């Protein structure tokens, strides 16, 4: 009886499967539909596909009595280039009675990049991407003219990664401009740029950049495989890809670096890393990364190494202050008063005499208020935001102390903590540290110094387990590689950094020759 029921269910499902198969086959047939030889049929199909699309222009032409059609979208093409090098050329330069696609392509149209297609879906895809299609009556193929343009933001200095010394140019929202900026930095045939499309509806163009012979082939293959697996309606920013291709999505720590600077991308490519650019955003993704990269600024490599060493050690010290200072104050003032000098303890006790809240509550009030002020300063217009951030912190802090809501020491603690978080060069790591500050404050309020130590052990265990495209997150500190510590806590002189990181490169590990240390004795000519 059970077998009979199963057979009936399967029999009922067969027509549904066949129907779905037929629908899929119809869709594939429609997508692979060839162009009609009759221009009127092609025009009807295009009008059907682009119905209610007011920005699509269907421009009819007559070439010596032969009907033609030009299809493009206003605003995303270079109108002057199409008018001068396509429409004007076709209407004025054509002398022959016979009209062929080959002749148009080779003799008449003066656009630099021209391709042919005989598929309707490819024509529509190229038009939506910013190209222009030229159809001729009784021709089996159409010409695709690459004249992308429209209003674009000019190359300017990136606002999120300002530098005292170094290039002032940053990426824009145009992927072609961004790849050109990197190509200007690395003028080598080893620089490879692979173009892909992600997003069923947006069909967003992305570019994968790597140095052939530097980046490991398995790394490049893994990046491409993770991109190929993505099935999503749209990708509007590189943050979409970052969440879809990272190793540990539940970790609060960033496992992919983002940057607006072409020199940062070029430097990482030369070390064997891979970069991903997404059309429509100035932020480029770099992978794999380690924790120490987020402590390094681009201009560290432009200053003399003495300055870079001082700044890096300062950042390492201040990241602990940004993470642990409020928690340490809560633990000491609540559980471990014997650790505070007597005179300072009396001062803290006097300032807290009229405060109705425990230390943990007043610390949370000030931290949340500070974060809210910082967020308001970002969201408001630039000039107003700066005034709100500075005046708000001063006025609210002073008023809260005078009103007896919080004590003066906690205002100092929160201010120093905020300043320390600003020293972290990368925003995604800075906001991670700001977020982790609150769990440490809770642990300190519940368990005191033991809670801080417990939190640090959990955090270090998590960091040791993290990977970024197979590379340990704390490499080369753990696992320890002493020969690669020249560019971690300190920045060795350029003449001392002769090798690239072992984790990233294949066989081309040598960066420079071994005798570059400057010395007057090496000069061949006397200065006398």
Least Cα distance to 407 among 343, 471, 355, 332 occurs for 355
Lookup: tokens for 285? 């993704």
Beta bridge pairs of residue 119: 34
Q: Which residues of 324-357 are buried (b: 16+ CB within 10 A; e: fewer)?
A: bbbbbbbbbbebeeeebeeeeeeebeebbeebeb
A 10 A CB-CB count for 474 gives 18
Q: What is the pLDDT of residues 122-131, one digit of tens each?
A: 899 889 888 8
Q: What distance in Å separates the CA atoms of residue 449 and residue 340, rounded to the nearest whole number?
A: 14
Residue 437 Ramachandran class (φ > 0 left, ψ -120 to 50 alpha, else beta): alpha
| pLDDT value at residue 391 | 66
Residue written as tokens 């012979």? 213
Two tokens, residue 437: 């500050």
| Average pLDDT rounded to a whole number, residues 397-417 | 84
Spatial CA neighbour of 84 closest among 112, 106, 56, 65? 112
DSSP state at residue 159: S
- Name the nearest CA neighbour of 279 among 71, 127, 129, 82: 129
Residues 360-368, mean pLDDT to the nearest whole number: 90
Q: Report the range of poorest mean pLDDT among 21-35, 189-203, 334-348, 414-428.
A: 21-35
Among 99-108, 252-261, 359-368, which range has the highest average pLDDT?
A: 252-261
Question: What pLDDT score was predicted for residue 521?
Answer: 66
pLDDT tens-digit map of 14-37: 444 444 444 544 444 444 588 888
Question: What is the rounded CA–CA span in Å between residue 141 and residue 119?
Answer: 8
- Cα–Cα distance for residue pair 506/163, rounded to 1 Å: 32
| 162's tokens | 């300002």
Dig out the tokens for 354 from the structure. 């009229």
The pLDDT tens digits of the residues spanning 419-463 come to: 899 899 999 999 999 999 999 999 999 999 999 999 999 999 999
Q: Which residue has the tokens 């000098």?
A: 341
Q: What is the pLDDT of residue 257?
A: 94
Q: What is the pLDDT of residue 258?
A: 94
Please state, in angstroms and rounded to a whole number, the distance separating the CA atoms of residues 141 and 144.
10
Residue 172, helix vs strand vs coil: coil
Contact, 208 vs 224, CB < 8 A?
yes
Least confident of 149-153, 199-203, 451-455, 477-481: 149-153
Look at residue 10 in the predicted model and tell me its pLDDT: 45
Contacts of 83 (CB under 8 A, 6+ apart): none
pTM of the predicted model, to two decimals?
Answer: 0.85
Is 414 within 8 Å of 441 (Cβ atoms)?
A: no
**Percent of the chain predicted with pLDDT > 70:** 88
Distance CA 179, CA 22 (A): 43
Confidence tier at 74 by pLDDT (50, 70, 90): confident
According to DSSP, the residues that pair with 61 across neighbouring strands are: 68
> Would you state the structure tokens that stand for residue 346, as one six-digit string?
């009396």
Band of pLDDT at residue 527, cut at 50, 70 and 90? very low
How far is residue 432's CA from residue 427's CA, in Å, rounded to a whole number? 8
- Measured in degrees and rounded to the nearest 5, phi and psi for residue 168 equal -105, 10
């Amino acid at each position: 009886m059970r077998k009979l029921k199963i057979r009936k269910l399967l029999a009922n499902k067969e027509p549904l499967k066949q129907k779905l198969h037929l629908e899929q086959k119809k869709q594939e047939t429609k997508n692979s539909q060839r162009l009609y030889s009759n221009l009127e049929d092609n025009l009807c199909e295009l009008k059907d596909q682009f119905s209610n699309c007011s920005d699509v222009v269907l421009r009819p032409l007559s070439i010596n009595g032969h009907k033609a059609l030009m299809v493009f979208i206003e605003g995303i093409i270079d109108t002057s280039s199409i008018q001068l090098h396509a429409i004007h050329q076709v209407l004025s330069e054509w002398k022959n009675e016979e009209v062929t696609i080959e002749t148009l392509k080779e003799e008449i149209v003066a656009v630099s990049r021209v391709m042919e297609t005989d598929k309707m879906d490819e024509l529509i895809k190229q038009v939506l991407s910013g190209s222009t299609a030229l159809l001729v009556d009784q021709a089996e193929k159409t010409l695709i003219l690459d004249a992308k343009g429209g209003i674009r933001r000019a190359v300017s200095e990136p606002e999120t990664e300002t530098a005292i010394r170094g290039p002032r140019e940053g990426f824009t929202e145009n992927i072609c401009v961004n790849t050109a900026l990197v190509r200007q930095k690395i003028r080598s045939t080893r620089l490879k740029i692979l173009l892909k499309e992600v997003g069923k509806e947006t069909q967003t163009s992305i570019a994968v950049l790597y140095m052939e012979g530097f980046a490991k082939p398995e790394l490049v293959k893994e990046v491409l495989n993770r991109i190929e697996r993505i099935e999503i309606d749209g990708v509007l920013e590189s943050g979409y890809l970052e969440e879809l291709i990272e190793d540990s999505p539940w970790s609060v720590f960033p496992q992919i670096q983002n940057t607006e600077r072409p020199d940062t991308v070029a430097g990482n490519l030369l070390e064997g890393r891979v970069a991903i650019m997404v059309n429509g955003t100035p932020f480029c993704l770099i992978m794999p990364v380690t924790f120490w990269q987020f402590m390094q600024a681009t201009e560290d490599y432009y200053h003399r190494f003495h300055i870079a060493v001082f700044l890096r050690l300062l950042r390492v010290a201040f990241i602990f202050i940004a993470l642990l200072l409020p928690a340490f104050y809560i633990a000491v003032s609540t559980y471990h008063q014997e650790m505070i000098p007597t005179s300072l303890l009396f001062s803290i006790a006097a300032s807290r005499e009229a405060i109705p809240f425990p230390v943990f509550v007043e610390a949370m009030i000030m931290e949340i208020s500070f974060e809210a002020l910082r967020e308001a300063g970002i969201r408001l217009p630039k000039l107003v935001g700066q005034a709100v951030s500075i005046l708000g912190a001063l006025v609210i802090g002073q008023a809260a102390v005078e009103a007896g809501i919080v004590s003066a020491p906690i205002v100092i603690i929160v201010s120093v903590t905020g300043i320390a978080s600003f020293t972290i060069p990368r925003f995604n790591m800075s906001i991670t540290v700001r977020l982790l500050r609150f769990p440490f404050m809770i642990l300190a309020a519940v368990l005191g110094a033991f809670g801080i130590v417990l939190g640090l052990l959990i955090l270090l265990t998590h960091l040791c387990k993290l990977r970024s495209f197979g590379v340990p997150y704390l490499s080369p500190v753990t696992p320890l590689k002493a020969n690669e510590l020249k560019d971690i806590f300190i920045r060795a002189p350029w003449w001392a950094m002769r090798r690239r990181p072992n984790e990233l490169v294949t066989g081309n590990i040598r960066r420079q020759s071994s005798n570059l240390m400057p010395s007057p004795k090496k000069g061949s000519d006397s200065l006398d």
